[in-house]
C-alpha cells in the first residue's frame, strides 16, 4: 500500500463521527472532498470513516503518515464531548495540545458579539496540536492544518457548508501548489437539465480523451447533471484557452441544456437574465407549495425582479386569488392545461408582472388516477405575447416530483428568455 | 484495534469502486448498511472505501479477518472489467476461484429468457472463491458469503436496490442470529428546536450515564438539534419501558422544545396537530419566498389543512393581495410588527383559514440597516382569538436566515396549537 512519492500526488480522506458509522448521517463531506480532489487531478486512495473512538482514529492517522501525501480529516472539531479530533491528533502524532491565542480571541469575540459567555467547552475549540496552523484565521468557519513527515494534514469542521468553503478556498489551492508540476489547474462546471443521467454519461464517455488534455467528469445532482472540465497546465492563459475550446465543443452537444456554470444555480441564471432584460416575474404554485418562490428568492437581490406569488393549494384559492374559472376546474380539473393557463394569466395580471409562471400537478403519494397518475404536472407561462402550457410526467416520490416540477418551471422561464424551445413533455 | 469477540458484536463495511473514491457517486450503500446495523444494535467500527485497486482491497480484507466479527463488502460484483471483488477475495483469503454451477445456471437462464447470449464476461460472475455460498440463490439480485477464521463475509452488489434487498432479507437476519446476546435494540430520536447546540450538548453531558443503561447521543441538524436514546436488552417490553422512562426524564428538561420524534419533521408534527384539531392554515410569506408553504406541503396529505398562501415580496403585493395598509408600510416599514400582523390577518381572511401565519424580514446580504440589521424577522399569527407578532434576530447567510425563519414560523403554529409559549424573541 505504500506508494508515497510515486505516481501522481495522492492522498486520503478520513471522516470521524458516530453519526456516520451508525448511518444516521450521510457522509457528504467525504463525497464532496473526493469529487473536488478528483476534479483537480488528485487521486484519493481510500476514504475511511470511524466513530468517535480514539484508538481507531489514532491508528488511522499513523497509517496515513506512511501512505499518503495529503490527508483530509473532517468532523470532531466542535465544542462538545464527542469532538475529540484534537486529542486524537495529539496522541497519534505525539504533539501536545496548545491554546491557539488567535483562535481563542476569535471565538471569544464571536461569542461576546452574540451576547453569550465564554465557557470551558467553547475554549476547548482553541486547543490544537502543537505546530498547527489555523485555516481561514479571520472567518467563522475554522480548521487547522499541520505537516508531519512530509505529509500535509487538514482538519476541517464536519458542518458541510464550512467544510466546503474551507476546502475550495484554502485546502485545494495549497495541495495543488505543493503538487508543483503544472501548477495552474482550472475547473469548470457545466450544469445541465433535461438529458437523462445515462445520456450525459454516454456523452462524456464518447468525448475524445487525450493524455494531458482536459479531463471530463460527470456528477449527477438530482434533478440536475453536472459536467466538469478540468485541466492542468503551465500558465493560466493557455489553460483558460483550452478550457474555452473544450467547453465550446461540449456545448455543441448539450448547448441549450446548460443552464448555469460554476457555482450558479438555476435561480441565479434566471435572475440574471430577468435583470438584464428588465423583466419581472410572479408565480402561481399548486403542487410545489411555494418551492419555486423559495428557490427564486435564494438569489440575493431577487426582489428586483420577483414580485411574489400565490400558493393556490385549494380550488377556492385558485378561483379567489388567481381568477381561475369554476367552469375550467369543473370541466378539466385542477391538474390540467387550461387551469395552468388561467393560473399563469391570473398571477401575471394580479401582480402586474411581465411573466406569470404556474404549476399544478399531483405530487403523490395519493391523489393519482389512471388518467392522471402521480407525477402528472402542467406548467403554464403567461407573457405579453400569450400563454403556453405543457404537460410532464415526473417519476419518484413526493419530494422528487416537487423538485423536478420546480426545476422544470424555472427552466421554462430560462428557455423563454433565451428563445430556446421548452423541453418536450408528454 | 483488535477487540474481536469482546463487547457487543461489531463489524465493518467495505465499499469498492473508483466512482466512490473519485466522488462521482455518493456512497449510499455504506450509509444504508451502517444505519440498518446500528438500528439492530450492531456496531460498525469503520467504513472503508477503496477504488478498484486490488492490493489495497486485499490488505483491507485481511485486516478485517483480524478485527471484525462480520464484514459487509459492496461493489465489484458485476460483469465488467472493473468488477474484481471475487479475484480480490481469492487472493486475500487464499481460496481459488471455482465456478458455482447453480449461479452459472441462473445467469444463463436469465440471459436466455431475455433473448441474449452467454458471454465470457457474464460467465465470470459465476466464478466465486471456494467455499462461498450464494445469497438469495433464486433471485436476480445476487451476492455470496463465506466464513473465514470465525468472521462472516458478505459480498453484495453495488446496485443500491439489490444491495438493500439482500441486506434486509438475508444478511441482517443471519448476523442477528449469530449475535445472540441481548438481541433487542431500540433507538429513539427526539428533535428539538430552540436551545442552542451548546445548550443541548450540555444537557446530554450532564445526563447521568450508567453502564448498560440507555445511551444518549446528540446530532446537530441545522437549525434543529436531535437527541438519540438507544438501548439494548433481553426483551422488547423491558427495552421499551426503559426507553419511555428515559424519554420522560429528558422531556423534563426540554419538554416544549421537542417538536417531533423519529422520522417526523416539523411539518409532519404541525400537520398532525392541525388534522387532529380540524383546523386550516394559510401563509403570507415575504423573506422566506415560499419556503414555509414548501415545507408544509412536504407532508403527504397536507391539502387537508393547508389552503395556500401568498408570497408577498413587494410592497404592492402586500397591499393588493393581503390588504396591508399603505399607512402601516409607510409608518413602520415592511419589516415590522404591524405589517406582520396585517399580513397574518389578511391571509387568514382571504383564504378563510383558521390560522393565518406571516413572516416578513431581511434575509440579506443587502437591505440591512442599523435599526433593522440583516436577520431581523417579524412573525405574525392570526387566529379567531386575535393576532400576535414577535420579533427575532437570526444569524448567518441568506439561506440560514430563511431556514430559521421558516422553522420558527412553523414552531409558532405548533406552540399555538399545544398551548406552549412562543420562543422568546428580541
The three three-digit cell numbers of residue A364, written as one number: 403523490
Cβ within 8 Å, pair B293-A290: yes
Q: How far apart are CA B28 and CA B17, in angstroms?
A: 13
Rounded to a whole number of angstroms, the distance from the CA of A76 to the nearest CA of chain B is 12
A73: β partners:
A14, A155
**ipTM reported for the complex, 2 dp:** 0.77
Cβ within 8 Å, pair A290-B313: no
Nearest CB partner across the interface for B308, out of A25, A34, A312: A312
Whether the full predicted model's pTM is greater than 0.80, yes or no, is: no
Counting residues of chain A whose pLDDT is more than 70, the rounded percentage is 95
Q: How far apart are CA B401 and CA B363, in angstroms?
A: 6
Q: Are A128 and A118 in contact (CB under 8 A)?
A: no
Rounded to a whole number of angstroms, the distance from the CA of A292 to the nearest CA of chain B is 7
Q: How many CB pairs under 8 A join A and B?
A: 271
Averaged pLDDT for residues A135-159: 84
Cβ within 8 Å, pair B1-A296: no
Sign of torsion over alpha carbons B172, B182, B38, A75: negative
pLDDT surpassing 90 at residue A119: no
Domain annotation for chain B: domains and CATH numbers = 10-179 (3.40.980.10), 184-261 (3.30.70.2860), 266-418 (3.90.950.20)
Question: pLDDT tens digits, residue range A301-345?
Answer: 999 999 999 999 899 999 999 999 999 999 999 999 999 999 999
Q: How far apart are CA B415 and CA A315, in angstroms?
A: 29
pLDDT surpassing 80 at residue A180: no
Q: Which residues from chain B sit within 8 angstroms of residue A288, using beta carbons? A: 294, 297
The three three-digit cell numbers of residue A133, written as one number: 496552523
Nearest CB partner across the interface for A308, out of B306, B307, B313: B313
Cβ within 8 Å, pair A297-B313: yes
Q: How far apart are CA B12 and CA A211, in angstroms?
A: 38
**Residue B396 φ then ψ, to 5°:** 110, -175
Cβ within 8 Å, pair B22-A30: no
Nearest CB partner across the interface for B308, out of A34, A295, A313: A313
pLDDT surpassing 50 at residue A4: no
Q: Which of B313, B352, B392, B393 to mutate to test the interface with A (most CBs of A within 10 A)?
A: B313
Cβ within 8 Å, pair B34-A22: yes
Query: b vs e for A37-73, b when ≥16 Cβ sit within 10 Å of the residue's Cβ?
Result: bbbbbbbbbbbbbbbbbbebbbebbebbbebbbbbbb
Highest mean pLDDT among A163-167, A206-210, A240-244, A355-359: A355-359
Q: Which residues from chain A sit within 8 angstroms of residue B294, using beta carbons? A: 288-291, 294, 402
Q: Which residues from chain A sit within 8 angstroms of residue B217, using beta carbons? A: 18-19, 24
Pairing relationship of beta strands B70-74 and B10-16 according to DSSP bridges? parallel
The pLDDT of residue A154: 96
**Residue A420 φ then ψ, to 5°:** -85, 150
Residue-wise DSSP of A187-246: EEEEEE-SS-HHHHHHHHHHS---TTSPEEEEEEETTEEEEEEEEEESSHHHHHHHHHHH
- CA of A280: which chain B residue's CA is closest? B314
Counting residues of chain A whose pLDDT is more than 90, the rounded percentage is 58
Rounded to a whole number of angstroms, the distance from the CA of B414 to the nearest CA of chain A is 19
Give the mean pLDDT per block of 10 residues along chain B (426 residues). 51 91 88 85 90 86 92 80 80 92 84 79 84 77 87 90 86 83 76 87 76 78 86 86 93 93 94 98 98 97 96 94 97 97 98 98 92 96 98 92 97 97 94
Rounded to 5°, angle at Cα B100 from B95 and B106: 150
The pLDDT of residue B5: 43
Nearest CB partner across the interface for A23, out of B38, B291, B309: B38
A208 or A410, which is more confident?
A410
Q: Closest Cα to residue B15, out of B33, B41, B1?
A: B33
Cβ within 8 Å, pair A287-B297: yes
Q: Which residues from chain B sit within 8 angstroms of residue A302, using beta carbons? A: 289, 313
Q: Closest Cα to residue B405, out of B378, B367, B372?
A: B378
Q: How far apart are CA A230 and CA B23, in angstroms?
A: 15
Cβ within 8 Å, pair A350-B291: no
Q: Which residues from chain B sit within 8 angstroms of residue A18, using beta carbons? A: 217
Cβ within 8 Å, pair A48-B53: no
Q: Which residues from chain A sit within 8 angstroms of residue B351, using beta carbons? A: 314, 316-317, 320-321
The pLDDT of residue A236: 85
3-state secondary structure of A261: strand
Residue indicated by cell numbers 495540545 = A97
Rounded to a whole number of angstroms, the distance from the CA of B94 to the nearest CA of chain A is 19
What's the distance, CA A268 to chain centroid?
13
Nearest CB partner across the interface for A49, out of B46, B311, B363: B46
The pLDDT of residue A396: 83
Cβ within 8 Å, pair A292-B290: yes
Distance set, CA B176 to CA B134, B142, B181, B182 (Å): 19, 21, 9, 10
The pLDDT of residue B1: 36
Question: pLDDT tens digits, residue range B388-420?
Answer: 999 999 988 899 999 999 999 999 999 999 999
Cβ within 8 Å, pair B197-A20: no
The pLDDT of residue A2: 38
Q: Which residues from chain B sit within 8 angstroms of residue A308, using beta carbons? A: 310-314, 317, 321
Cβ within 8 Å, pair B49-A38: no
pLDDT surpassing 80 at residue A424: yes
Radius of gyration of chain B (CA): 28
Nearest CB partner across the interface for B56, out of A1, A59, A398: A1
Cβ within 8 Å, pair B51-A32: no
Amino acid at each position: 500500500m505504500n506508494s508515497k512519492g510515486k505516481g501522481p500526488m495522492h492522498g486520503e480522506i478520513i471522516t470521524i463521527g458516530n453519526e456516520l458509522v451508525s448511518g444516521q448521517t450521510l457522509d457528504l463531506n467525504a463525497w464532496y472532498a473526493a469529487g473536488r480532489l478528483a476534479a483537480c487531478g488528485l487521486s484519493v486512495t481510500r476514504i475511511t470513516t470511524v466513530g468517535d473512538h480514539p484508538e481507531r482514529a489514532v491508528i488511522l492517522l499513523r497509517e496515513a503518515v506512511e501512505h499518503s501525501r495529503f490527508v483530509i480529516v473532517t468532523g470532531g472539531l466542535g465544542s462538545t464531548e464527542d469532538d475529540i479530533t484534537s486529542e486524537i491528533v495529539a496522541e497519534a502524532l505525539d504533539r501536545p495540545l496548545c491554546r491557539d491565542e488567535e483562535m481563542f480571541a476569535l471565538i471569544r469575540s464571536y461569542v461576546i458579539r452574540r451576547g453569550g459567555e465564554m465557557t470551558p467547552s467553547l475554549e476547548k475549540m482553541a486547543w490544537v496540536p502543537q505546530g498547527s496552523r489555523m485555516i481561514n484565521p479571520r472567518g467563522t468557519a475554522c480548521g487547522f492544518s499541520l505537516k508531519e513527515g512530509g505529509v500535509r494534514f487538514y482538519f476541517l469542521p464536519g458542518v458541510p457548508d464550512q467544510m466546503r468553503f474551507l476546502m475550495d478556498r484554502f485546502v485545494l489551492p495549497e495541495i495543488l501548489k505543493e503538487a508543483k508540476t503544472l501548477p495552474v489547474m482550472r475547473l469548470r462546471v457545466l450544469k445541465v437539465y433535461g438529458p437523462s443521467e445515462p445520456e450525459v454519461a454516454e456523452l462524456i464517455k464518447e468525448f475524445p480523451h487525450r493524455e494531458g488534455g482536459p479531463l471530463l467528469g460527470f456528477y449527477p445532482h438530482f434533478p440536475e447533471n453536472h459536467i466538469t472540465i478540468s485541466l492542468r497546465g503551465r500558465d493560466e492563459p493557455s489553460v483558460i484557452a483550452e478550457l474555452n475550446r473544450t467547453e465550446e465543443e461540449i456545448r455543441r452537444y448539450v448547448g441549450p441544456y446548460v443552464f448555469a456554470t460554476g457555482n450558479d444555480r438555476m435561480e441565479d441564471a434566471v435572475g440574471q437574465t430577468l435583470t438584464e432584460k428588465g423583466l419581472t416575474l410572479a408565480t402561481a404554485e399548486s403542487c410545489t407549495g411555494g418551492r419555486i418562490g423559495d428557490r427564486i428568492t435564494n438569489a440575493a437581490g431577487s426582489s428586483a425582479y420577483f414580485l411574489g406569488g400565490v400558493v393556490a393549494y385549494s380550488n377556492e384559492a385558485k378561483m379567489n386569488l388567481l381568477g381561475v374559472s369554476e367552469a375550467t376546474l369543473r370541466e378539466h380539473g385542477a391538474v390540467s392545461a387550461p387551469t395552468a393557463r388561467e393560473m399563469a394569466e391570473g398571477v401575471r395580471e394580479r401582480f402586474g408582472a411581465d411573466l406569470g409562471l404556474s404549476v399544478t400537478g399531483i405530487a403523490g403519494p395519493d391523489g393519482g388516477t389512471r388518467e392522471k397518475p402521480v407525477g402528472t404536472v402542467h406548467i403554464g407561462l403567461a407573457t405579453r405575447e400569450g400563454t403556453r402550457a405543457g404537460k410532464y410526467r415526473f417519476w419518484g416520490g413526493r419530494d422528487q416530483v416537487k423538485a423536478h416540477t420546480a426545476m422544470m418551471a424555472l427552466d421554462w422561464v430560462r428557455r423563454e428568455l433565451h428563445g430556446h424551445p421548452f423541453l418536450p413533455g408528454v
